[in-house]
Amino acid sequence: MFRANDSKELLAYIIRKCAQYGYKISYTKCQKLMYCCYGAYLAQFGKRLVAEHPHAWSYGPAFPRAFNAHHKGRIDLDAPTFVDALPQEEKDLVDGAIQHFGQYNATSLTNWSHLQGSPWDVTTMGGKKLYDAISDVLIGDYFKNNVIVSDSQQASAT
């Protein structure tokens, strides 16, 4: 039976990886890292990483179920996650997103997620309309055009 990828498992994986890399984390930073993993995965593989959609909260994209579970101490950091079982290429992308974005603090990630033209900015009409789900089309296109570096872009930069 198919089981959708659980956002709480992604969060647990991110928390473990941040500890491994020595990155400080907070509730807000965890949510932004989830969004970065989700967006990179969507842009690279054309499918969602987790079943839960990110929503446009005041501090940027957030995954409400995962946030609430984290806030209530209901994230199992010891259990295996679906991320552990991903094909290597997909797991490498998630790990790369955590490594890259994890070096920034929550404020920097929030400010980045609020940039003009970002999926959060478009969804909220510049912060005027909060709490709606952010479209996968907006996220995928934004990450393809502004975040993911293709092999051809890397070659032309050298």
Q: What is the pLDDT of residue 148?
A: 85
Q: What are the strands, taking DSSP E only, across 10-144?
A: 55-57, 60-62
pTM score: 0.92
Residue with tokens 């994890």: 102
pLDDT in tens, 63-90: 999 999 999 999 999 999 999 999 999 9
pLDDT in tens, 6-31: 999 999 999 999 999 999 999 999 99
Ranges of each domain in the chain: 7-157
d(CA 108, CA 104): 6
Q: Is the pLDDT assigned to residue 155 strictly greater than 50?
A: no
Please list the alpha-helical segments (H only) found in 46-87. 64-71
Q: Is the pLDDT assigned to residue 96 strictly greater than 50?
A: yes
- Determine the residue type at 34: M
Closest CA to 82 of 39, 119, 44, 52: 52
Is the pLDDT higher at 154 or at 95? 95
d(CA 122, CA 9): 28
Predicted confidence band of residue 154 (pLDDT cuts 50, 70, 90)? very low
60 pairs with which residues across the strands? 57
Q: What dihedral angle (degrees, nearest 10) is formed by the CA atoms of 32, 38, 43, 48?
A: -160
> Which positions ≥6 away from 94 have C-beta within 8 Å?
13, 37, 40, 41, 49, 83, 86
Q: What are the CB-based long-range contacts (under 8 Å, 24+) for 115-123?
A: 117/142, 118/142, 119/39, 119/61, 120/56, 120/60, 120/61, 123/56
Phi, psi (5° rounding) for residue 54?
-75, 145
